[in-house]
Amino acid sequence: MWSGPGFESNVYLIDGEVLIDTGTGDFFSQIKNEITTMGIDIANIRTIVNTHHHYDHTGGDKKFRDWLKANIAIHTADRAALEHGETLAELFGRQAKFVTVDIPLEDKDIIRTKHFNLEVIHTPGHSPGGICLYERKRRFLISGDTLFEDGIGRTDLPGGGAEDMKHSLNKLGRLDAEYLFPGHGGPKIGGIGFLIKQALAGSIKPRAAEKK
């Protein structure tokens, strides 16, 4: 996990095979150097999964794909926005990038690595094609901008919606997740079901710590 400062998203490398989100690309060189220093064989990193299309999670896609020669994966509902550069880059004072999607994802797809089976959970609300990745045996949830350790994702951006978010949270509430790895902020161990109940009850609000 590379923890993004400010509005930069977290970046995760799973099993040395799957990269989850790429941030804005501002820290590409730093992450590249760290991956190289760790001795990871980049030939094994074949897939880049975006949890949704927003620029703070996808701005680095082109740099990482050019380096890794990896495929870009995103949910079908966010595919067009990513490919047409409709990533809200202007909210970050940046130029939109156009990225071709190689693998369109759907709910319940499985992304397999050597040790993990990551189930795609479609969780619209923050964006139409927002997803979480759930490992049932290991009970960890990579939650993108749907759920944070201290809040939920914003629903007031284009394509977002409070009712969709409520439905998505109910879906996550039916999972047996023990470890939470969000798109921003730190991880959380335990109490995830209670966190979701708080969100559904309105006790915790959409997180607005990042710029968008």
Question: Residue 20: helix, strand or coil by DSSP?
Answer: strand
Strand-strand pairing, 103-105 and 110-112: unpaired
Count: domains in the chain = 1
* Residues spanned by the domain of 119: 12-201
What is the pLDDT confidence band of residue 208, given thresholds at 50, 70 and 90? low
Q: What is the pLDDT of residues 91-143, one digit of tens each?
A: 989 998 899 999 999 999 999 999 999 999 999 999 999 999 999 999 999 99
Rounded CA gap, 193 and 175, in Å?
Answer: 8
Rg of the chain in Å (alpha carbons): 16
**pTM to 2 decimal places:** 0.95
The CA-atom distances, in angstroms, between 191 and each of 67, 119, 170, 179 are: 38, 21, 15, 9
Decide if 112 is inside a domain: yes
Decide if 1 is inside a domain: no
Decide if 210 is inside a domain: no
Decide if 209 is inside a domain: no
Decide if 97 is inside a domain: yes
Q: What is the pLDDT of residues 161-187, one digit of tens each?
A: 999 999 999 999 999 999 999 999 999
Decide if 166 is inside a domain: yes
> Are the C-beta atoms of residues 3 and 35 closer than 8 Å to each other?
no
In terms of C-beta density within 10 A (0-12 exposed, 13-18 middle, 19 or more buried), how is residue 105 classed? buried
Rounded CA gap, 14 and 117, in Å?
Answer: 11
Q: Would the pLDDT of 212 be above 80?
A: no
Decide if 47 is inside a domain: yes
CATH number at 187 reads: 3.60.15.10
Question: Residue 190: helix, strand or coil by DSSP?
Answer: coil
CB within 8 A of 211, min separation 6: which ones?
Answer: 6, 7, 56, 91, 92
Report the sign of the C-alpha dihedral through residues 62, 68, 71, 76, in that order. Answer: negative
Q: Which helix (H) or strand (E) holds 201?
A: helix 192-201
pLDDT attached to residue 209: 42
Rounded CA gap, 89 and 84, in Å?
Answer: 12
pLDDT attached to residue 5: 84
pLDDT attached to residue 206: 85
Least confident of 48-62, 86-100, 136-150: 86-100
Decide if 2 is inside a domain: no
Q: What is the pLDDT of residues 97-109, one digit of tens each?
A: 899 999 999 999 9
Q: Tell me the two tokens of residue 67.
A: 């380096």
